[in-house]
Structure 1
Amino acid sequence: MAISSAVQGVSTAKRQRFLRSTVVLHAAAAVTGLVMVLYLLAHMYGNYKVFSGQVAFDGYSHYLRTMGEPLLPRTGALWIIRVVLLASVLIHMYAVIALWRRMRKATAGKGGRRYQSRKNPRGVQRTYSSFTMRWGGIIIFLFVIYHILHLTVNAIAPGGASESPYERVVNGFSIWWVVATYVIAMLALGFHLRHGFWSALASLGANTSPARRRLFNQTATVLAVVITVGFLIPPVAILFRGVGS
Structure 2
Amino acid sequence: MAGFYRTAVGKKWVMAITGLVLMGFVFAHMVGNLKMYLGPTHYREYAEWLRTGLLVPILPEHVALWGMRIVLIVAVGYHIHAAYSLTMLNRRARPQRYASPRDYIAASWAARTMRWSGVIVALFVLFHLADLTTGWANPDFTAGDVYANVVASFERWPVALFYVLANLALGVHLYHGVWSLFQTMGSMSPRFNPRHNPLRRAAAAGFTILVVGPNISFPIAVLTGVVG
Same fold (TM over 0.5): yes
Q: Of 191, 195, 201, which residue of structure 2 is paired with 1:211?
A: 195
The equivalent of 1:23 in structure 2 is 9
- 1:18 Cα offset (Å): 2.2
1:233 matched to 2:214: no
Deviating 4+ runs (over 3 angstroms): none
Amino acid at match of 1:237: A
Aligned to 1:161: 141
Structure 1 residues 156, 93: closer, same or farther in 2, change over 3 A?
same
Structure 1: gaps of 5 or more residues: 1-14, 114-120
The equivalent position to 1:187 in structure 2, one of 147, 158, 168, is 168
Give percent identity, aligned residues only. Answer: 34
Q: What's the CA shift for 1:109? A: 5.1
Maintained 8 Å contact 1:104/1:110: no
Task: Establish whether residue 172 from structure 1 lines up as the match of residue 153 from structure 2.
Answer: yes
Tell me the amino acid that sits aligned with residue 165 of structure 1: V
Instruction: Give the structure 2 partner of residue 123 of structure 1.
Output: 103
Corresponding residue for residue 132 of structure 1: 113
Moved more, 68-77 or 93-102: 68-77
Larger Rg: 1
| CA distance in structure 1 between the partners assigned to 2:84 and 2:212 by the alignment | 24
Aligned to 1:61: 47
- Tell me what 1:87 maps to: 74
Deviations 1:13-39 (A, max 9, x none): xx5432211111000001110111111
AA partner of residue 48 (structure 1): L
5+ residue gaps, structure 2: none
**Counterparts in 2 of 1:204 and 1:131: CA distance versus 1, 3 Å:** same
Q: Indicate if the aligned counterparts of 1:22 and 1:99 stay in contact, CA closer than 8 A.
A: yes
Q: Tell me which of 107, 112, 117 is aligned to 2:94.
A: 107
Separation in structure 1 between the aligned mates of residue 96 and residue 120 of structure 2, nearest angstrom: 23
Distance 2:57 2:114 in 1: 42
CA deviations on 1:160-185 (whole Å, 9 max, x unpaired) are 12121110001111111111100111
- Work out the CA distance in 2 between the residues paired with 1:179 and 1:70: 38
Q: Tell me the number of residue pairs that the alignment of Structure 1 and Structure 2 aligns.
A: 221
What root-mean-square deviation, in Å, do the aligned CA atoms of Structure 1 and Structure 2 show?
A: 1.8
Change (3 A) 1:58 1:88: same
**Following the alignment from structure 1 to structure 2, what is the Cα–Cα distance between the partners of residues 142 and 239?**
23
Once residues 226 and 16 of structure 1 are traced to their aligned partners in structure 2, the CA distance between those partners, rounded to angstroms, is 36
Q: Distance in 1 between matches of 2:96 and 2:200?
A: 31
